[in-house]
Structure 1
Amino acid sequence: MRKNTRAVTAALLATAALTVAGCAAGGNGGDGGGSADAASCEPSGEDVTLTFTSWIPGIEDAVAMWNEENPDIQVEVQTGPSGNAGTYQNFFNQLEAGNAPDLGQIEYDALPNFRVQDGLENLAACEDVLAAQDQFLDWTWGQVTLGTEDEVYGVPQDQGPMGLFYRSDLFEENGIEVPTTWEEYRTAAEEIRELGGYITNFSQTDINQFAGFVWQAGGQWFANDGDQWTVDLTSDASMEVAEYWQGLIEDDLVATYPAWTDEWNNAYNSGEVWTWNSAVWGANSILSGAPDTSGNWSVALAPQWEAGGNAAGNWGGSSIAVFKGTDHLYEAAKFALWLNTSEEALTSLNTTAQIYPATEAGLELPVLKEGVEFYGGQAIYDVFAEAATQVSPDFVWGPTMTQTYADVSDGFKAAVSGSSTIPEALEAGEQSTIEAFQAASIPVAE
């Protein structure tokens, strides 16, 4: 699911104000220690009712299936706004007050924030969780282990492998080849601009889209060696991506409408903008935002930095985590695994919310093999199934992503206005992120 990336920085500051001790004392009566031990992941031996908070539309349907089949482990689902729109702050408040739900929806890029505040149970204590590792794509499992070998802080739910949505009718009518490399993409951008259109829209606020571009290029923004964090928004790969998009902006080869606005929708609906480099969930965004273009879109793998390459970035994705102090770690882990691995649950989640599974088997769901009328009958999920296998498992998110997104977004807006550049925005974002780490007493390499 798409994330609200322009969260208020105050949410970060409120989060940082929570001490590790405060979070450790939260939850539902746990001992406040570090990683859960093996003995803590044992059946309760009695009927259990779990509380679970999520913002996924229709997730109540999947929970109802579980409740019908498991009378001894009932789940009460609570819904709220998306994570950065308020639910994450509620989680931190609940952890501090000692009344957090047993389980919660947490996006991959937000997991480190909760981990650094000691707000999550280590699911590695549960044998069934460890045994399920092979069911998930390697890179999605890497997102919930946070780069460790013996810790698991959530069960992967969905993913956002990126591809290229494009107006196949316009490319064909004008004799323009669908680009397979970023060099070809720029050439196509020049041809499309001569025709009065734009190849795409550069988003000033979707910084996790840009992170997906860096991910594809082999870049890394954060690293954690177990003792301290490294912040590197200005790596060679990151700056290569930045300079590429800066060039497109300076040469007026991309539109710069604010994303998710009527202007943005109209640009795609009218044919002014021809492509969108987006994640699998973008299929529904185009369908709803550009209804007059039905049947004219197709999907291809993302352009590559080198001809013949096979790398993909990711934009989005969530996990189901268990909060520190739950009295029912075994039951919570069992439900989280069922929700994200069973065919009936995954089918329900895809039907109600277009959730794209994080499991190998989930990519083969019958519902994902059907042609999509809006995309000319193309079985578009086959493309994303291939892209999902091309995402590097090594990309790490930092523990202050709301602040990083907000600050880099400010820089991107300045770049679009001509008062700054994309590389300068990353340089400033790196420095402000290091300062945010220091303010929150998070160890960071100088």
Structure 2
Amino acid sequence: MRGRVPRRLAALAGVTALLSSCGVVGGDDGVVTLDFWCWGDVPSARVEAFNAAHPDIQVRRTDAGGGNDSATKLLTASRAGNAPDVTCVEYQTIPALVVSDVLADIADHVDGLTDEFTDETWQLTSFEGHVYGVPDDVGPMVLLYNRARFEELGLAVPATWEEFAEVAAQARERDPETYVATFSPTEFGNFAGLAQQGGATWWEVENRNWTVGIDDPASVRVAEYWQDLIDRDLVSAEPLLTPEWNNRVNRGEVLTWPAGLWSPSVIYSIAEGQAGDWAIAPLPHWAGESDAVAFQGGSALAVTNDAEDVAAAVEFVSWMETASESTDLQIAGGQYPASLGGQAAAALSEPPALTAGQEDYWDVATSAATNTVPHIQWGPNVTTASDAYGDAFSAALRDGTPLAEALRRTQREVVAEMERVGFHVTTD
């Protein structure tokens, strides 16, 4: 992605406070020390394994928080020249970090890594010949469903979105307390994935010119589809993972969740007693159209422009994404590796506890991971888009106004901000 806008996007993320210094430390013993920022528990075990196997490169890990918090802190540290050598980054935040001069282009260091990933996965971190990270984990979208309740109600697993609507009506008829699914007004990533599956392209960039199409026809179709289900009271319109929603899941009153492959672990965390009752199926697709799915969630490991020893940083990243010891720890911790080798290893493991007993679990998961929508591009102000989406869709559900209009409102706010900070923007 050529044509960075140095530091401008830091304002978009609401940067607030400077962090302590980071960097490579070369001791008298010649050991290179790398600072690494990453959230969660799984990276700790992987870092420990790397350090044990690499006495000449030692990694110090800091949990800087996940999602937007991590990106905000990273932007702040970069402005002060104190960014870590290596960092976890969510795929959708990469463009913002690139235009802010945070991430290093490591294309010259990773020639041997491209064959470890599908083209679609590798493209999540690559732009116009530049490489700004190596994929770590991915969340191809599937349909997580309560198999026990489906069988109890005599429901067939839908293969298309048209069939999904039919199942939604059947579920309400056969148990008026039950909804086939929830439409949450704040699940920006989920809606984006469904729109991408349907052919939407929300951001594109070529020769420094951005095209924004959040309200393109494919996205409007998805909004109108869910609008129809909401209007007919066939899905519940409410936020996810609230105490009330969790209780309904435990009572068997929410039957599916179209989401990333990480979703079984989330439901298990709130409904452990339903272990073995759930299963995954291919995400429904539009009749007569491609059955490819989008990614929802996932992250990469990126080297920053503050790294003093890029070769050592890339060696660490490469080991984290290709060494079997590392990917085995990912799998044990509930992550789905981005690498083909890691995914092959995952396919030999037991299914997650929530879906225990599903014999074809890994067949479905592998099929989703190898049949993903190509050329997904995120924009330079995804945080703003997510906030605008949540505000607009929440207001639409509250006021009874069309979801399609909420998409148009989101589009306007995203384009206005990009133009305000100096991007050249066209719209679909």
Give the alignment's TM-score, normalised by structure 1.
Answer: 0.87
The correspondence for 1:369, drawn from 349, 363, 379, is: 349
Structure 2 CA distance for aligned equivalents of residues 416 and 315 of structure 1 = 23
The one-letter code sitting in structure 1 at the alignment partner of 2:151 is E
**For 1:44-443, what aligned pairs fall within 5 Å after superposition?**
46-84=30-68, 86-126=69-109, 129-146=110-127, 148=128, 150-194=129-173, 195-196=175-176, 197-306=178-287, 309-352=290-333, 354-365=334-345, 368-379=348-359, 380-443=361-424
In 2 relative to 1, CA 371–97 (structure 1 residues): closer, same or farther, beyond 3 Å?
Answer: closer
Structure 1 CA distance for aligned equivalents of residues 132 and 296 of structure 2 = 20
The one-letter code sitting in structure 2 at the alignment partner of 1:298 is A
In 2 relative to 1, CA 223–308 (structure 1 residues): closer, same or farther, beyond 3 Å?
Answer: closer
Structure 2 CA distance for aligned equivalents of residues 363 and 276 of structure 1 = 22
Which residue does the alignment assign to 2:11? 14
Counterpart contact for 1:157–1:318, Cα < 8 Å? yes
Residue deviations 1:162-188, cap 9 Å, x none?
A: 111111122222222111110000001
Report SS of the residue matched to 1:158. strand
Structure 2 CA distance for aligned equivalents of residues 366 and 189 of structure 1 = 32
User: Displacement of 1:335 after TM fit?
Assistant: 0.5
After the TM superposition, which of the residue ranges 366-375 and 107-116 deviates more from structure 2?
366-375
User: Displacement of 1:47 after TM fit?
Assistant: 2.6
The one-letter code sitting in structure 1 at the alignment partner of 2:344 is E
Counterpart contact for 2:12–2:384, Cα < 8 Å? no
User: Displacement of 1:223 after TM fit?
Assistant: 0.3
Which residue does the alignment assign to 1:8? none
Structure 1 CA distance for aligned equivalents of residues 85 and 223 of structure 2 = 41
Structure 1 CA distance for aligned equivalents of residues 372 and 121 of structure 2 = 9
Structure 1 CA distance for aligned equivalents of residues 208 and 337 of structure 2 = 33
Paired-residue identity, %: 35
User: Displacement of 1:294 after TM fit?
Assistant: 2.3
User: Displacement of 1:46 after TM fit?
Assistant: 4.4
Counterpart contact for 2:181–2:236, Cα < 8 Å? yes
Structure 2 CA distance for aligned equivalents of residues 125 and 27 of structure 1 = 24
The one-letter code sitting in structure 2 at the alignment partner of 1:100 is A
In 2 relative to 1, CA 411–355 (structure 1 residues): closer, same or farther, beyond 3 Å?
Answer: same
Unaligned runs of 5+ in 2: 1-7, 16-20
The one-letter code sitting in structure 1 at the alignment partner of 2:267 is I
Counterpart contact for 2:13–2:72, Cα < 8 Å? no
Report SS of the residue matched to 1:259. coil
Counterpart contact for 2:87–2:302, Cα < 8 Å? yes
Counterpart contact for 1:53–1:101, Cα < 8 Å? yes
Report SS of the residue matched to 1:411. helix
The one-letter code sitting in structure 2 at the alignment partner of 1:207 is F
In 2 relative to 1, CA 17–315 (structure 1 residues): closer, same or farther, beyond 3 Å?
Answer: closer
Unaligned runs of 5+ in 1: 1-10, 19-25, 30-44
Structure 2 CA distance for aligned equivalents of residues 255 and 231 of structure 1 = 30
Report SS of the residue matched to 2:281. strand
User: Displacement of 1:291 after TM fit?
Assistant: 2.2
The one-letter code sitting in structure 2 at the alignment partner of 1:116 is V
The one-letter code sitting in structure 1 at the alignment partner of 2:160 is T
Residue deviations 1:7-41, cap 9 Å, x none?
A: xxxx97634688xxxxxxx9869xxxxxxxxxxxx
Structure 1 CA distance for aligned equivalents of residues 238 and 403 of structure 2 = 16
**What is the alpha-carbon root mean square deviation over aligned residues?**
2.1
Counterpart contact for 1:51–1:103, Cα < 8 Å? yes
The one-letter code sitting in structure 1 at the alignment partner of 2:225 is Y
Counterpart contact for 2:23–2:308, Cα < 8 Å? yes
Residue deviations 1:90-147, cap 9 Å, x none?
A: 1111111111110111000000000111111100121xx122101112111101003x
In 2 relative to 1, CA 297–17 (structure 1 residues): closer, same or farther, beyond 3 Å?
Answer: closer
After the TM superposition, which of the residue ranges 103-112 and 53-62 deviates more from structure 2?
53-62
Report SS of the residue matched to 2:254. coil
Structure 1 CA distance for aligned equivalents of residues 233 and 315 of structure 2 = 52
In 2 relative to 1, CA 371–88 (structure 1 residues): closer, same or farther, beyond 3 Å?
Answer: closer
Counterpart contact for 2:227–2:402, Cα < 8 Å? yes
Structure 2 CA distance for aligned equivalents of residues 308 and 102 of structure 1 = 43
Counterpart contact for 2:392–2:407, Cα < 8 Å? yes
Structure 2 CA distance for aligned equivalents of residues 373 and 351 of structure 1 = 12
Which residue does the alignment assign to 2:4? none
- Matched length: 408
Counterpart contact for 2:84–2:306, Cα < 8 Å? no
User: Displacement of 1:50 after TM fit?
Assistant: 0.5
In 2 relative to 1, CA 373–49 (structure 1 residues): closer, same or farther, beyond 3 Å?
Answer: closer
In 2 relative to 1, CA 74–318 (structure 1 residues): closer, same or farther, beyond 3 Å?
Answer: same
Residue deviations 1:194-230, cap 9 Å, x none?
A: 1211010111111100001011112110000122111
